[in-house]
Structure 1
Amino acid sequence: MEKRRIGNSDLLVSKMGLGCMSLGTEESSAKEIVQHALENGINYLDTADLYDFGQNEEIVGNAIRDVRDDIILATKVGNRWDDVEDGWRWDPSKSYIKSAVKDSLSRLKVDYIDLYQLHGGTIEDNFEETIEAFEELKKEGLIRHYGISSIRPNVIKRFLSSSSIDSVMMQYSLLDRRPEEWMDLLDENKVSIVARGPLAKGLLSEKMLSKASAKMKEDGYLDYSYQELEETLKSIHGKLGDNRSMNELALQYILAHESVGAVIPGASSVQQLQENINAVNAGPLSSEELDMLKQLTKLSRYEQHRD
């Protein structure tokens, strides 16, 4: 599978990574999915300390134990659940980050993390303290590079101006094109987008509207009413679906943008993973296909947290 560089780092990742949040807690099934990913050229695994309250990191660690040196391993920090009953709280403090990384390393059974990401953030956070923690962890060799997972423009801009991040994880799909507004700025700073949610909760898979929840049917999805969602998906499938699957259209659209270092759909089964592997290994979209998809979908923008 083609590899791309994350930001200005030396991390070369498969253009599709495996988002591990959907692996579940049944270890044998999860390990089977991870193994299938590795056998098909995926070298980039993304987890978080919050997923299943640490169990996801443990499962991922067990699955990659014998191939650690071949893996680009990413995890996240900031949602603290060790001192909260039935939930978690936001804590981007230096002391917590430097403590949490050791817990993640222990659960993952590794000596270092390739890409450590702040799992959220607000403009009110103490950025200097957070950045200092990541920089110290780099010097200590516990992490190789760091990034953030955020869709807030003001947070992204603050990190771009004040830190050496290499990536910003953003929700990005044909039904959520908000990151496109920020691609030029990210490119100027040599920071890559890691695209999560590329199939828009399954709406952009072959199952399309059968994946719509009761809430979606009532409220729609982001800027789309349910009726608009129906019309948009029907148009995409009708105009471009003869030669490509919906997964192909969705994933190839994201990968057509050079700002994207990797797309990381989740997978809860080997079959689902293979569908996405087939999609990213298909030929890239033509300029005509790209233009058509842009015409059929909305170019939305972030209205909040801009300044």
Structure 2
Amino acid sequence: MTEHGTTLEQAELGKGGPLVGVQGLGCMGMSEFYGDTDEAAARETLDAALAAGVTLFDTADVYGRGRNEEFLAPFVAAHRDEITLATKFAIERTDDPQYRGVRNDRGYIREAVEASLRRLGVDVIDLYYMHRRDPAVPFAESVGAMAELVSEGKVRHLGLSEVTGAELREAHAVHPIAALQSEWSLFSRDVERSAVGAAAELGVAFVPYSPLGRGFLTGSFADASAELSQNDFRRHQPRFNGDNAKANAELLVPVREIAAQHGASPAQIALAWVQQRAQVHGLTVVPIPGTRKPGRLLENTGATRITLTQAELDLLEPIAAQVAGNRYPDMSFTSAAREA
């Protein structure tokens, strides 16, 4: 039982890493990317998450160009000893809204961590991720620079995002990696090619982002360009638009059928599937679905109490292979682009 009286189980992020609730909270959408935001509702969601036993709160310096970290600062200050705070560096933005660069060099890492510490109002970051890999920078150099931050007491544990199994092994040989964060859902399973197996082998926890397929798996929208606001970045993702979206919506039929059998929502079934990857692959799995609404937060955490049968898992198994469209317009930023 947590201090708030919930029964949300806990899991360890890596060997000797922090204990966190088996479901975390992705905070990206509280600042941008998913249309207009409601700060008051977002703050209620943070409080509801902690009350439900969620203790891993995930942000990044790129979300809102620092605004998401600043938004979280008061919540972090009020609950510093109760939560595990994760943030990320590596994606560089400028005044050009279309620009996205990737920086992994030592100087940039040191600048980034100081800026995040300042915005978050903390002396140490619990889990510090490399958000994306720049293959032009030797991996050992980047991870070595991150390890220096641990030695200096600025960071407690290291994480990586969107790396292959071979890259994870290379990094782990330089300094222990607590968690690997990559997209993993009923719609996105490319991480199972090598990253999942490597994480299981090394004792690295897996933190799936977008476990609800950026909302598509919930059935909340069927065609991004037709239904979502102009400032919602899902309008530019191939699998959520046009003929791809129409084809992918048909793949949700078994998800809805299984949800009806459990008296659950499609979102809960999608999350239960991700949670059960822990047993399937023999590793710790802590998904971080994002939401800005307290009701959705409680719905999401409720998925931790659902166990899918093997027959249900078999019905869901073929979905990912049938998905139409990539998860990003430019897949070069992902680990899938570097898989052998």
TM-score by length of 1: 0.88
Match of 2:162 among 143, 150, 168: 150
TM alignment of 1:207-218, pairs within 5 A = 207=220, 209-210=221-222, 212-214=224-226
Match of 1:8 among 6, 11, 15: 15
Give the Å deviation of 1:61.
1.2
Residue 155 and residue 10 in structure 1: after superposition, are their counterparts in 2 closer, same or farther (change >3 A)? closer
Residue 220 and residue 45 in structure 1: after superposition, are their counterparts in 2 closer, same or farther (change >3 A)? closer
Quote the residue 2:248 is aligned against: 229
Match of 1:70 among 77, 82, 107: 82
Residue 136 and residue 273 in structure 1: after superposition, are their counterparts in 2 closer, same or farther (change >3 A)? same
Is structure 2 residue 249 aligned with structure 1 residue 249? no
Is structure 2 residue 299 aligned with structure 1 residue 275? yes
Quote the residue 1:44 is aligned against: 56
Matched to 1:3, the amino acid is Q
Gaps of 5+ in 2: 1-7, 32-36, 227-233, 327-334
Gaps of 5+ in 1: none
1:18-41 CA-partner distances (Å, limit 9, x unpaired): 101011365433322111111111
Residue 162 and residue 237 in structure 1: after superposition, are their counterparts in 2 closer, same or farther (change >3 A)? same
1:152-175 CA-partner distances (Å, limit 9, x unpaired): 556445424544212111101101
Quote the residue 1:165 is aligned against: 177
Matched to 2:295, the amino acid is Q
Residue 210 and residue 187 in structure 1: after superposition, are their counterparts in 2 closer, same or farther (change >3 A)? same
Identical columns (%): 30
Residue 122 and residue 96 in structure 1: after superposition, are their counterparts in 2 closer, same or farther (change >3 A)? closer
Give the Å deviation of 1:132.
1.5
Residue 217 and residue 145 in structure 1: after superposition, are their counterparts in 2 closer, same or farther (change >3 A)? closer
Is structure 2 residue 39 aligned with structure 1 residue 20? no
TM-score by length of 2: 0.80
Quote the residue 1:140 is aligned against: 152
Matched to 1:196, the amino acid is Y
Give the Å deviation of 1:297.
4.3
Quote the residue 2:212 is aligned against: 199
1:149-203 CA-partner distances (Å, limit 9, x unpaired): 1155564454245442121111011011222233222211111211000111212
Q: Distance in 1 between matches of 2:259 and 2:107?
A: 51
Give the Å deviation of 1:294.
1.1
Match of 1:113 among 109, 117, 125: 125
Deviates further, 213-222 or 23-32:
213-222
Judge conservation of contact 1:240–1:289 (CA < 8 Å) in 2: no
Residue 158 and residue 238 in structure 1: after superposition, are their counterparts in 2 closer, same or farther (change >3 A)? same
Q: Distance in 1 between matches of 2:312 and 2:81?
A: 38
Deviates further, 155-164 or 186-195:
155-164
Quote the residue 1:102 is aligned against: 114
Residue 192 and residue 157 in structure 1: after superposition, are their counterparts in 2 closer, same or farther (change >3 A)? same
Quote the residue 2:337 is aligned against: 304
Quote the residue 1:85 is aligned against: 95
Give the Å deviation of 1:286.
2.2
The root-mean-square deviation of aligned C-alpha atoms, in Å, is: 2.7
Judge conservation of contact 2:89–2:131 (CA < 8 Å) in 1: yes
Deviates further, 33-42 or 22-31:
22-31
Deviates further, 94-103 or 291-300:
291-300
Give the Å deviation of 1:59.
1.1
Give the Å deviation of 1:260.
4.1
Residue 136 and residue 213 in structure 1: after superposition, are their counterparts in 2 closer, same or farther (change >3 A)? same
Deviates further, 25-34 or 265-274:
25-34
Matched to 1:271, the amino acid is G
**Equivalences, count:** 302
Quote the residue 1:177 is aligned against: 189
Judge conservation of contact 2:187–2:319 (CA < 8 Å) in 1: no
